[in-house]
Structure 1
Amino acid sequence: MTLNNLKFQTTYLSLDSEFYDMTDPTPLDDPYLISFNPKVAKLIDLDGDSGDDPHFVALLNGTFIPEGTRPFSMCYAGHQFGHYVPRLGDGRAINLGSINGWHLQTKGSGETRYSRTSDGRAAVPSSIREYLMSEAMHHLGIPTTRALGIIGSQTKILRNQIERGAIVMRMSPSWVRFGTFEYFYYFKEYDKLKSLTDYVITESYPHLQNDEDRYFKFFCEVVERTAKLIAQWQGLGFCHGVMNTDNMSIAGLTIDYGPYAMLDDYDYGFVCNKTDRIGRYSYGEQPNVSYWNLTMLAKALSPIIDKEKMQKKLDDYGNFIYPDAYIDIMCQKLGLVLRLDEDVELITELVGALQDAYVDYTLFFRTLSHYDGERMPLYDIAMNPVVIHNWLDLYDARLSKETPTQPERQNAMLNTNPKYVLKNYMLQEAITLAEHGNYSMVETLLHIASHPYDELPEFEHFANETPEEHKNICLSCSS
């Protein structure tokens, strides 16, 4: 399908007008293509060479409006760093509508009703980071939004310095957030709260539509999806950085890539957001924050769902839903097929050893995937190999109880533990080149992001430990 044949649906506009505001984009000056993602284009049946069509840049820039497009921005509230903000909304994002169940949204398209004091723009650095990382997460098996393309411009915007404006086109099965429910709860508009819940069930949980207890079961599935998502983040070593309730997807997706990071040396307390001075959203706190955010969602849903039933589900989240999901993820990373009671201790000891070993998290698990009893490769990558040695004694004992052969285990682990993840220093290199008109590194990282488990000899250096001078990069919300 060509760009001229695109036809959007705007089912969200069937809700009351308080849910959104009709918003026309403000085009950037002298826009140009930075990157187009043909793999994502397939999701909406768009031709793979559409990036060469001038209409593509115009589509992102808001000067080409396909059939059925009725641009709008969504209204929501949210708890930001634990404090409730009654009115947030899409301050720099404009929704075009949906195709094949994917809602297309341009981020950086100018002021909206919800921009507050912001200019509604996005800079090239943050746009490149979102474009690349959302794709990397998908290929790592993490539920996430996707990215179709990104454009730059000559429009100047002020952040920590003068930047150039950019727009990234994001796609998601849903853009509804925990904070969307909070908005209508705190304004005591319970009929609209119920309408929103019905809409979300139809869109993201259609198997519950005719269930008499659908509202409670919907909440239960949100809890379970969130538990699995956070467990996957922890297993991968992904730090979101801004886990406000307005950045939590009701569909269990990773959304809103602001200041984020993949762990370099393992650090349970790592904070990737300069704004987060107390470490509320540190890597190790993500499971606790997800629970807190779910309690805020439960409060918002309390006019239509029994509080005690929801609290019981929340108790289950902390007691076994999340812990079981995390243990399952870690057992897969360790190549363990059986689930034994001793696995909790094995994983707990591993986390402690990694904290003390000063070892690159991704490199450790990729090296462990080749483990055949020879320990020196693991010693070589750790600053403190003694703790790795002690843990390997436990691991060897545990492996002796497994049934798969060593090659079977190694193969399974190599398909579970990525060789390549996009670290902040890699992204910064791509950004620096892009700011000088060279987009080759963006394309290189997009390719690497699409093949995280493969052997790519020409990019072997990206699988190495993060250079010391680039470890633990901390970013701001405008980065």
Structure 2
Amino acid sequence: MNENRSIQDVGWNFDNSYARLPHVLFSPLNPTPVRAPELVVLNDRLAAALGLNADALRTVERVEELAGNGLPEGALPIAQAYAGHQFGGFTMLGDGRAILLGEQITPQGERLDVQLKGPGRTPYSRGGDGRAALGPMLREYIISEAMHGLGIPTTRSLAVVSTGQPVIRETHLPGAILTRIASSHIRVGTFQFAARWGAPEDLRALADYTLQRHYSDALQADNRYLALLQGVIRRQAQLIAKWMLVGFIHGVMNTDNMTLSGETIDYGPCAFMDAYDPGTVFSSIDSRGRYAYGNQPPIAAWNLARLAEALLPLLDEHEDRAIQLAEDALGAFAEQYRSFRLAGMRAKLGLFNEEQEDESLVEELLSEMQKSGADYTNTFRALTMGIGASETPSPSPALPNTADFHAWREKWQARLARQAAAPEEVRRLMQRSNPAIIARNHRVEEALEAAEQQGDFSVLHRLLAVLEDPYAYSTEQEEFAILPEPSSCRYRTYCGT
């Protein structure tokens, strides 16, 4: 009786507004059933935020739904069509291994996409099997929740379910399906698709829908479509600045992986930087460093230019005027990004006010970190922990031990002395701005190896627990700040998600 009641009270509250858009933008279809689904991990906190009963989601019937063997009440599954520039080359794409079940309306009235990743082939699979492996799905779960803990706008992971059947890549791997939650899955590539293969009214319908869903304030603007472009540019400038401030490298910043909501999406060949180096690349498929850490801001601007091109017919009926409006809007990106990044760097250094030389103070530190091979996260962590210490604290091994760094540190301390904030206020600001830990690559791999090879998920759960609040500076986090042993092999990530 109790189980039946929990099943009934799961809390799904679906709407399907995207499925009411022109049909060229999607294909209706159901997931392909799997053999023996089992729940691997469930995000209880996210479930509660969605208005869902986590206990109900753990029942056999609901796990079947999370695996695509059934549909939650009210779901209307579709695969979304989109295009994209992948490493600079334009191609037709679409949800090749993802199906949107619909949109959950939360108790707070928020509309969030519920998508299954790995539920089988779709019309956009391009010869693929539409399935996903357990390791990459757990990796997305870890990294997306780590990004959420860091305060970075991101898609999130509700659950991972194993399928009981293998997927074939270079070898046989255990299959899995991830339930992804997003403000929406509208991408720059969605607009590229509509502009290339849709009718003018399809592009307009998509733009109006995006405005209503993500930029409703812009609906009253004199030129709502220009306001849409300006809003997306600003959100992306802020998002990329937040990435850079924590040393995150996306790895595959194709236009189909840039959302108009301003959330990070796609956690395939991504990772967090250890030693500071703007040229850092982890992705196995990024042989030329197109999406290296230091290239992320200009690549974001390049992607936004592709969005502007798609929106040109809506910006103005005269092409020359439309191009000028788009160029003016795009021209704001660089300064917006610079402003967001500098504000974040001031906070990381405990600066409450602004001085003209702050930017050079930041760049001098980063230059010294690069020359010394200093760890990005641990450098700022050590600076944070040193605030309020004795006059002559023991030098932290995380900090460069060079004359140039010591000279920089004296300059920084003089800068701190010129503001009114007390040391404890400075420390609190720095602690809120500098994570004590990140999802370090070796820790992520350790959790995935234990899960995939030993069926041991305790390592995964322990990692997830400390990543919930990376700014806690707790004793439990100490061991997760330890760097990996030196290796002769460069760390590589793969596009498994």
Is the pair's TM-score, using the shorter chain for normalization, greater than 0.5?
yes
Q: 1:468 to 1:376 in 2, by over 3 A?
A: farther
1:351 to 366, 374, 378: 366
Give me the whole-angstrom Cα distance separating, in 2, the residues matched to 1:190 and 1:3. Answer: 45
Residue deviations 1:111-158 (CA, integer Å, cap 9, x gap)? 111110211111111101111111111111100011111111331112
Q: Amino acid of the residue matched to residue 407 of structure 2?
A: N
Could you tell me which residue of structure 2 aligns to residue 418 of structure 1?
A: 435
Residue correspondence of structure 1 range 66-81 to structure 2 within 5 A: 66-81=72-87
Structure 1 residue 371: Cα displacement:
2.4
Q: Amino acid of the residue matched to residue 71 of structure 1?
A: P
Residue deviations 1:387-440 (CA, integer Å, cap 9, x gap)? 422321321221121111111101111121111211121111111111121111
- Determine helix, strand or coil for the equivalent of 2:129: coil
Check if 1:452 corresponds to 2:452.
no
CA contact (8 A) 1:264 1:471 kept: no
Check if 1:329 corresponds to 2:351.
no
Give me the whole-angstrom Cα distance separating, in 2, the residues matched to 1:2 and 1:9. Answer: 22
Check if 1:10 corresponds to 2:27.
no
Residue correspondence of structure 1 range 147-296 to structure 2 within 5 A: 147-187=157-197, 189-296=199-306
Could you tell me which residue of structure 1 aligns to residue 58 of structure 2?
A: 52
Give me the whole-angstrom Cα distance separating, in 1, the residues matched to 2:402 and 2:119. Answer: 50
CA contact (8 A) 1:146 1:171 kept: yes
Q: 1:112 to 1:378 in 2, by over 3 A?
A: farther
- Determine helix, strand or coil for the equivalent of 1:284: helix
Q: Amino acid of the residue matched to residue 97 of structure 2?
A: R
Structure 1 residue 310: Cα displacement:
1.9
1:341 to 356, 374, 380: 356
- Determine helix, strand or coil for the equivalent of 1:49: helix
Structure 1 residue 378: Cα displacement:
5.3
- Determine helix, strand or coil for the equivalent of 2:297: helix
Residue deviations 1:366-397 (CA, integer Å, cap 9, x gap)? 11112247676555224653442232132122
- Determine helix, strand or coil for the equivalent of 1:167: strand
CA contact (8 A) 1:367 1:378 kept: no
1:128 to 138, 149, 152: 138
- Determine helix, strand or coil for the equivalent of 1:78: strand
CA contact (8 A) 1:364 1:378 kept: no
- Determine helix, strand or coil for the equivalent of 1:203: helix
TM-score (normalizing by structure 1): 0.96
CA contact (8 A) 2:82 2:189 kept: yes
Structure 1 residue 457: Cα displacement:
2.4
Check if 1:97 corresponds to 2:105.
no
Structure 1 residue 317: Cα displacement:
1.2
Q: 1:378 to 1:334 in 2, by over 3 A?
A: farther
- Determine helix, strand or coil for the equivalent of 1:149: strand
- Determine helix, strand or coil for the equivalent of 1:461: helix
Could you tell me which residue of structure 2 aligns to residue 440 of structure 1?
A: 458
Give me the whole-angstrom Cα distance separating, in 1, the residues matched to 2:365 and 2:64. Answer: 51
Q: Percent identity?
A: 36
Structure 1 residue 99: Cα displacement:
1.1
Give me the whole-angstrom Cα distance separating, in 1, the residues matched to 2:470 and 2:56. Answer: 26
CA contact (8 A) 2:382 2:396 kept: no
Give me the whole-angstrom Cα distance separating, in 2, the residues matched to 1:73 and 1:175. Answer: 11
Could you tell me which residue of structure 2 aligns to residue 316 of structure 1?
A: 332
Q: Amino acid of the residue matched to residue 237 of structure 1?
A: G
- Determine helix, strand or coil for the equivalent of 1:304: helix
Give me the whole-angstrom Cα distance separating, in 2, the residues matched to 1:455 and 1:95. Answer: 38
Could you tell me which residue of structure 1 aligns to residue 416 of structure 2?
A: 399
Give me the whole-angstrom Cα distance separating, in 2, the residues matched to 1:273 and 1:469. Answer: 17
Residue deviations 1:80-107 (CA, integer Å, cap 9, x gap)? 001111x201110111111121110010
CA contact (8 A) 1:367 1:377 kept: no
| Deviation larger for 356-365 or 236-245 | 356-365
Q: 1:144 to 1:210 in 2, by over 3 A?
A: same
Give me the whole-angstrom Cα distance separating, in 2, the residues matched to 1:459 and 1:88. Answer: 41
- Determine helix, strand or coil for the equivalent of 2:283: coil
- Determine helix, strand or coil for the equivalent of 1:106: strand
Could you tell me which residue of structure 1 aligns to residue 318 of structure 2?
A: none
- Determine helix, strand or coil for the equivalent of 1:41: helix
| Deviation larger for 102-111 or 464-473 | 464-473
TM-score (normalizing by structure 2): 0.92
Give me the whole-angstrom Cα distance separating, in 2, the residues matched to 1:96 and 1:419. Answer: 37
Number of aligned residues: 477
Q: 1:106 to 1:336 in 2, by over 3 A?
A: same
| Deviation larger for 39-48 or 385-394 | 385-394
Give me the whole-angstrom Cα distance separating, in 1, the residues matched to 2:333 and 2:115. Answer: 32
Q: 1:188 to 1:67 in 2, by over 3 A?
A: closer
Structure 2 unmatched ranges of 5 or more:
106-110, 316-321
Q: 1:376 to 1:47 in 2, by over 3 A?
A: same
- Determine helix, strand or coil for the equivalent of 1:65: coil
Q: 1:458 to 1:243 in 2, by over 3 A?
A: same
Q: 1:438 to 1:155 in 2, by over 3 A?
A: same
Q: 1:440 to 1:237 in 2, by over 3 A?
A: same
Check if 1:28 corresponds to 2:34.
yes
Q: Amino acid of the residue matched to residue 78 of structure 2?
A: F
Q: 1:70 to 1:442 in 2, by over 3 A?
A: same
- Determine helix, strand or coil for the equivalent of 1:109: coil
CA contact (8 A) 1:425 1:470 kept: no
Give me the whole-angstrom Cα distance separating, in 2, the residues matched to 1:471 and 1:22. Answer: 45
CA contact (8 A) 1:228 1:325 kept: yes
Give me the whole-angstrom Cα distance separating, in 2, the residues matched to 1:150 and 1:31. Answer: 10
Q: Amino acid of the residue matched to residue 487 of structure 2?
A: E
Residue deviations 1:233-258 (CA, integer Å, cap 9, x gap)? 00010000000000000111101111
